[in-house]
């Protein structure tokens, strides 16, 4: 009798993790959009760099930054993550636009890591592996010219609006949306929590239902979604909105987007909240506006103020000890961020030569981002 009890106990312990809610053991496929340094990887000039300079904006690069942080957060929560690629500079076999910086995609690079670009190859792999979740990361652009004052969040799933061909796609997007919307550092121009842009790809792109079937037999519009797994492609913001493009030039700003994607996926699986919190902000002038042909901002919005390149933001703990600092980049975004902070009270000290010093008390809460938007007055003394 004793022996049977012992065996039963072991059996229950072994089963417990499988039955538990959350991301543990779940398989998530992350597809950072695009992949190379070609003209088709959405290159754009920025205030400091010319178009096609690898230091300038490439959607392929920024989508990867988001995806790598998402991967890290998912893995920390116990998920198994499959990445279509983990580095930049990969193109489909025979891509005529490939540059000297690009290599042809492969199922195993020198580290044994796949670097897949061709959308059909990715869709085929997703269909055969059948992960619990699939997400394609992108940013958006307006048609007909750069620099339009348009910036919204958009989720697209395979099918018609209100009719997801892979059932569960709409539900996943609706759960994720509020987490991604929580970004007061950008300037949204439309869509909202009340009017979520969660759409069928055929409806949104103007295709005729049920769309063209791929070789696997799946219909729809977006090639990367033509598989059996409930999924979506998310346009996190518009890189054609120039102030947002300057923000996307900062890797940590993109990492914060990765964190927000993680929260949406974690919520879907009913996972535990992250134990740590985050601070993210933008530091700008209180007196000076920005005027540049590559920075067409929304009138009267936060984007009118000059971002303070090179500013230093100090993080002080509750005893007033400087524990970290962040040096703002020179890309006209003013972004600063502190990741993986213990919940509690902190002080931020903003120190920029030529400006009046400013301090701000903040509270960091687990699983949340505390946003700050300090603006500093010029010091005329
Ligand atoms: Zn894209």
One domain, residues 319 and 188: no
Q: Are 282 and 135 contained in the same domain?
A: no
Q: Which of 108, 89, 33 is nearest to 66 (CA)?
A: 33
CATH number at 81 reads 3.40.630.40
The dihedrals phi and psi of 252, each to the nearest 5 degrees, come to: -70, -30
Quick one: three-class SS letters along 262-305?
HHHHHHHCCCCCCCCEEEEEECEEEEEECCCCCCCCCCCCHHHE
* Element at 323 (helix H, strand E): strand 322-327
User: How far is ligand 1, taken at its centre, from the CA of residue 262, in Å?
Assistant: 19
Domains identified in the chain, total number:
2
141 C-alpha to ligand 1 centroid (Å) = 8
* 129 and 54 in a common domain: yes
Tally the C-alpha atoms within 13 A of residue 256's C-alpha that lie toward its C-beta.
28
Of 268, 289, 320, which marks where a domain is finished?
268
31 CA → ligand 1 middle, Å:
11
Distance (Å) from CA 293 to ligand 1 centroid: 24
Between the CA of 32 and the centroid of ligand 1 the distance, in Å, is 9
Q: Residue 264 and residue 266: Cα distance in Å, rounded? A: 6
Q: What is the pTM assigned to this prediction?
A: 0.94
Same domain, 36 and 150: yes
Whether 257 and 211 share a structural domain? yes
79/189 same-domain check: yes
Same domain? 256 vs 281: no
CA-to-CA dists, residue 36 to 44, 116, 171, angstroms = 14, 11, 32
Q: How many A from CA of 269 to the centre of ligand 1?
A: 26
Structural domain of residue 349, as residue ranges? 277-376
Peptide bond before residue 210 is cis, with ω within 30 degrees of 0: yes
Q: 304 and 205: one domain?
A: no
Give, for all 381 residues of the chain, the pLDDT tens digit: 444 444 444 444 444 444 458 999 999 999 999 999 999 999 999 999 999 999 999 999 999 999 999 999 999 999 999 999 999 999 999 999 999 999 999 999 999 999 999 999 999 999 999 999 999 999 999 987 799 999 999 999 999 999 999 999 999 999 999 999 999 999 999 999 999 999 999 999 999 999 999 999 999 999 999 999 999 999 999 999 999 999 999 999 999 999 999 999 999 999 999 999 999 999 999 999 999 999 999 999 999 999 999 999 999 999 999 999 999 999 999 999 999 999 999 999 999 999 999 999 999 999 999 999 999 999 987
Structural domain includes residue 184: yes
CATH number of domain containing 360:
2.60.40.10
């Amino acid at each position: 009798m004793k022996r049977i009890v012992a065996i039963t106990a072991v059996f229950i312990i072994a089963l417990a993790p499988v039955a538990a809610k959350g991301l543990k053991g779940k398989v998530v496929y992350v597809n950072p959009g695009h992949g190379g340094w070609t003209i088709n990887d959405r290159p754009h000039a920025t205030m400091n760099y010319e178009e096609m300079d690898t230091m300038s904006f490439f959607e392929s690069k920024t989508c990867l930054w988001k995806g790598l942080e998402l991967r890290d957060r998912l893995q920390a929560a116990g998920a198994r993550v499959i990445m279509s690629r983990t580095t930049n500079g990969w193109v489909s076999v025979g891509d005529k636009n490939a540059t000297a910086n690009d290599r042809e995609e492969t199922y195993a690079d020198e580290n044994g890591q796949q670097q897949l670009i061709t959308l059909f190859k990715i869709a085929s792999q997703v269909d055969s592996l059948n992960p619990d979740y699939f997400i394609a990361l992108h940013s958006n652009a307006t048609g007909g010219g750069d620099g339009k004052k348009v910036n919204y969040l958009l989720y697209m799933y395979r099918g018609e609006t209100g009719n997801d061909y892979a059932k569960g796609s709409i539900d996943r997007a609706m759960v994720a949306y509020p987490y991604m919307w929580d970004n007061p550092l950008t300037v949204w121009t439309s869509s909202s929590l009340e009017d979520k842009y969660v759409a069928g790809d055929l409806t949104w792109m103007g295709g005729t239902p049920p769309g063209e079937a791929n070789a696997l037999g799946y219909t729809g519009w977006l090639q990367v979604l033509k598989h059996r797994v409930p999924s979506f492609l998310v346009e996190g913001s518009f890189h054609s909105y120039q102030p947002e493009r300057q923000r996307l030039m900062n890797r940590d700003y993109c990492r914060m987007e990765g964190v927000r994607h993680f929260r949406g996926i974690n919520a879907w699986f009913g996972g535990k909240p992250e134990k740590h919190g985050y601070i993210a902000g933008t530091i700008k002038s209180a007196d000076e506006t920005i005027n540049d042909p590559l920075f067409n901002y929304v009138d009267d919005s936060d984007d009118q103020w000059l971002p303070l390149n090179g500013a230093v933001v100090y993080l002080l703990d509750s005893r007033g000890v400087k524990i970290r600092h962040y040096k703002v980049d020179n890309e006209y975004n003013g972004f600063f961020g502190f990741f993986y902070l213990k919940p509690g009270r902190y002080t931020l000290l903003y120190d920029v030569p030529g400006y009046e010093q400013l301090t701000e008390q903040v509270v960091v809460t687990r699983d949340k981002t505390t946003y700050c938007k300090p603006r500093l007055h010029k010091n005329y003394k």
